[in-house]
Structure 1
Amino acid sequence: MCSMLMSVIKVLGNFAILLMLTGLQVPARAQDKVTAIVNAVIIDGNGNSPIEDGSIIIRGGKIEAVGSQLKVPSGAEIIDAAGQVAMPGLADMHVHLTWGGEGHDLLGYQRRLNALLYAGVTTVLDTGAVLPFVQQMHQAIEAGKIVGPNIYYVGPLIDSVDPQWPAVSLSMASETQAQKITRYLKNNGVSAIKAYAKLTRPQIVALVNHGKKLGLPVIVDAWFSNGAEHLVTTGLRAFAHTPRRVIDDTLKIMKQNEVQIITTRAVGGIVKHARLRGLSFLQSDLIKNTTPSWLLEKASKDASRALTDKQFANDNFSEHFHKLLQKNVKLIFDAGIPLVAGTDNDGLFTGEELHFELELLVDAGLTPLEAITTATKNAAKLMKEDDKWGTLEPGKRADIILVDGRPDKNISDTRNIKLVMVRGRVIEREKLVLNEQTDLNVRDTKFGY
């Protein structure tokens, strides 16, 4: 044992000598690194007026100080924002990472993770996926093996014995299964439970009750019944979509029960995008730099058809229904019910679609700062982790983006991403641009249901 110890000491000693001779240095521990963002207009994510000429001090992946006239610690790495806006990294709280734009796509996951970061989306909630797949993805990102945003996930949709989406669902025949299902989900690291359309009220109540014991909130997508009173009173945390029917009495009950609404106003496919945005949006760098050519060509073709083929457009998009939900968004907001930004992204326009979501919220009547809050502070509150991230405040995770323009005045300026920081580490955005020469370029499985 003594001789073995001496051998180890000798090896370490030789290694230290080698470092001195070669000039190599052992990197400082991550928790010791200090970074200062200076000369920034700061939007804190709380909805407050921006701080002009502000600074943010970051130490070990967390925010240490925010404000104007801060003293920058000696030896800190300086990032000069030069008047750009510093704001919290954005969160999309309704995505599906197993979808690739047309169907299921498990092999092309890195393209979508890159697209999210490229667009300044530093946190997502996957609301229905193949559980081992999204669990492994989450673990790999946490371990630093792959690059990606912070991921929360629900795993499979909990649906009836005849699930709508079998490949990403777990069937529940009766409420007696709730305990087993919630334990299975908890043991596999989920952050919440997604109760889907065909479940009965007693089944949802059972999931809520057993989920509470394990710290798992329930998010409900009940299709036409989203926002209905008989579901509002189940104890759920949030509805996965903006309700299509909103009345004053139900809004009061929602507020009393602290129910939140994930907005998903951007959902609707290429026809909706084209009808509301024309064709020019396809030229956005956030789309062109992250979308495979085959998918972009198909999107362009379908978008053009949506503007010329009235029947095709009417079959896939209802302007009346869109306006109804826009009206409901404002009614819900005015009732004091928290709105949380989410897109229901299915792999098409990943990342970019969240900026469209924020534009639609402003179109519905929110101010730009109020819209930003839905993708920052409110997103963190949905997970009850607003003490850890979501706003630019001391002690919180340093997920920060720098953008050109003034998104507090023009919400579209959130698109002008210049820098992305996740947990205090600056992401090299140029490396996130899709390279079709090295990308797997495997197309989605056109999975039939």
Structure 2
Amino acid sequence: MPALISDHVHIGSLKGTANKAEFYTEENIKAQLQKYQDYGVLNIMVMGSDRPLIFEKGIRDASLAGNYPGARLHSAAYGFGVPNGAPPIEFAMDYVYRPNKTELIAAQMDSLVKLKPEFVKIWVDDFGGKYKKMDPAIYKEIIQEAHKRGLRVAAHAYYLSDARQLLNDGVDVIGHSIRDSVIDNALIQQIKSRGIAYIPTLSLDEFAYIYARKPEWINDPFFKASLEPGVYQMITSEKYQNDLKSSPVYAKNVQAFDTALKNLKKLYDADVLIALGTDSGAMPLRAQGFSEHLELELMVQAGLTPLQSITVGTKNAAKLLKIDKRYGTIEKGKIADLLILKGDPAKDIKQTRSIYAIYKAGKEVSKGPLK
């Protein structure tokens, strides 16, 4: 099958059981690009959390040119957030632009353009009421200034009401599932008619509550190999599981996941472009590499067929990144990014995990994470 492509990840600042700015080193970036490659994910889009190192050292450019090990690194450079709000600065998000008035945005966008981002990322969420949400006047201006410079905007959103406003203001990609309400047919038609893409990140929503019990894959070596040191011990501890169960947002998170499944199926059935993304690497619970395979399984749980799910993770993800002339399908003239599997994922989606070999640009680069 074609190698996987993940259109929403974060790399570099994850290490052990934390995300911190000081962890963002070339050594850590290289290791995480290698990890994605070992899981058969050969193109990744980092959504707005990158730092100067990858531009100053030419890492991103070398990666896209095929002159750097591991998954190819696509970048949205530095995203746009809220002063003292989302995304949380303590998660190595201190390079995010945080305009407090619309007059600042044009100059900020000019500085961003110099880094040649493939998207502009905006955070429009209050993280369950923890933070002030981005002012609609601010994100409307960001979208307009991005479009003037030929850039597409991907929005972190949660609420249906925010999605409506973002669509009215011209957003190009909804970068997470809408999770508070089931999407109505009128909005679906608006999304479809405007060619908006949707990245459901279902695994993120399952990870928000699933460790309160032991999921079937908790002891699977394919999962454990993806974790940073110390994370397995953290998520399997009785205290951690009990804290999750007794959390005031536990029931809300379970419901949000269920709503995300329903919205994905409705949008897929309406022929909206659905692309694979997971938000893996944003925090230790979201395991890089494994999340992408879990995402395929969760899309099948939502009602897609295994082949439809695989298409979302290959052809569709390539289309959203505008790299589908070279990647995403196995065709004459395209670059040979391939997974060789021991089982048939068209019959059982979990067989994407039965990796025998991974080929990047026609060369074998890995035997998988359990080599």
Amino acid in the other structure paired with 2:204: V
Amino acid in the other structure paired with 2:61: Q
Between the aligned partners of 1:423 and 1:294, the Cα distance in structure 2 is 34
CA contact (8 A) 1:111 1:290 kept: no
Amino acid in the other structure paired with 2:322: K
Is residue 177 from structure 1 mapped to residue 104 from structure 2 by the alignment? yes
- The aligned residue for residue 232 of structure 2 is 296
Between the aligned partners of 1:217 and 1:417, the Cα distance in structure 2 is 34
Query: 415, 419, 432: which is aligned to 2:353?
Result: 415
Secondary structure of the structure 2 residue equivalent to 1:188: coil
- The aligned residue for residue 379 of structure 1 is 317
User: After superposition, where does 1:91-102 map in structure 2 within 5 Å?
Assistant: 91-100=5-14, 101-102=17-18
CA contact (8 A) 1:270 1:299 kept: no
Between the aligned partners of 1:221 and 1:238, the Cα distance in structure 2 is 9
- The aligned residue for residue 147 of structure 1 is 69
- The aligned residue for residue 45 of structure 2 is 125
Secondary structure of the structure 1 residue equivalent to 2:335: coil
CA contact (8 A) 1:255 1:337 kept: yes
Deviation at 1:417, TM superposition (A): 1.2
Between the aligned partners of 1:389 and 1:212, the Cα distance in structure 2 is 26
Going from structure 1 to structure 2, the CA distance change for 1:212 and 1:373 (only over 3 Å counts) comes to: same
Between the aligned partners of 1:429 and 1:216, the Cα distance in structure 2 is 37
Count of paired positions = 345
- The aligned residue for residue 129 of structure 2 is none
Is residue 106 from structure 1 mapped to residue 24 from structure 2 by the alignment? yes
Secondary structure of the structure 1 residue equivalent to 2:236: helix
Between the aligned partners of 2:225 and 2:156, the Cα distance in structure 1 is 32
Secondary structure of the structure 2 residue equivalent to 1:147: coil
- The aligned residue for residue 59 of structure 1 is none
Q: Deviations over 1:235-286 (max 9, x none)?
A: 221111111231111111111111111110000475633357x354233333
| Range 98-107 or range 408-417, more displaced | 98-107
Secondary structure of the structure 2 residue equivalent to 1:267: helix
CA contact (8 A) 1:194 1:218 kept: yes
Deviation at 1:415, TM superposition (A): 0.8
Secondary structure of the structure 2 residue equivalent to 1:220: strand
CA contact (8 A) 1:134 1:155 kept: no
Q: Deviations over 1:423-447 (max 9, x none)?
A: 22220347x769xxxxxxxxxxxxx
Deviation at 1:178, TM superposition (A): 3.1
Query: 228, 235, 260: which is aligned to 1:325?
Result: 260
| Higher share of residues assigned strand | 1
- The aligned residue for residue 117 of structure 2 is 190
Between the aligned partners of 1:162 and 1:292, the Cα distance in structure 2 is 29
CA contact (8 A) 2:274 2:312 kept: yes
Secondary structure of the structure 2 residue equivalent to 1:94: strand
Secondary structure of the structure 2 residue equivalent to 1:228: helix
TM-score of the superposition, structure 1-length normalised? 0.70
CA contact (8 A) 1:341 1:374 kept: yes
- The aligned residue for residue 444 of structure 1 is none
Between the aligned partners of 2:101 and 2:244, the Cα distance in structure 1 is 46
Q: Deviations over 1:181-201 (max 9, x none)?
A: 222222112111002223333
Query: 319, 334, 340: which is aligned to 1:396?
Result: 334
Deviation at 1:314, TM superposition (A): 6.1
Deviation at 1:300, TM superposition (A): 2.5
Structure 2 gap segments, 5+ residues each = 125-132
- The aligned residue for residue 210 of structure 2 is 273
- The aligned residue for residue 14 of structure 1 is none
Between the aligned partners of 1:148 and 1:185, the Cα distance in structure 2 is 25
Query: 136, 139, 142: which is aligned to 1:204?
Result: 139
Over aligned residues, Cα RMSD in angstroms?
A: 2.7
Deviation at 1:150, TM superposition (A): 1.2
Is residue 157 from structure 1 mapped to residue 79 from structure 2 by the alignment? yes
CA contact (8 A) 2:156 2:175 kept: yes
Q: Deviations over 1:381-418 (max 9, x none)?
A: 21223223211122222211111111111111111111
- The aligned residue for residue 340 of structure 1 is 275
Between the aligned partners of 2:255 and 2:330, the Cα distance in structure 1 is 38
Deviation at 1:231, TM superposition (A): 1.3
Going from structure 1 to structure 2, the CA distance change for 1:210 and 1:365 (only over 3 Å counts) comes to: same
Q: Deviations over 1:110-131 (max 9, x none)?
A: 3322221111111111112133
User: After superposition, where does 1:24-63 map in structure 2 within 5 Å?
Assistant: none
CA contact (8 A) 2:209 2:244 kept: no
Is residue 241 from structure 1 mapped to residue 241 from structure 2 by the alignment? no
- The aligned residue for residue 128 of structure 2 is none
Going from structure 1 to structure 2, the CA distance change for 1:237 and 1:309 (only over 3 Å counts) comes to: closer
- The aligned residue for residue 425 of structure 1 is 363
Between the aligned partners of 2:254 and 2:222, the Cα distance in structure 1 is 26
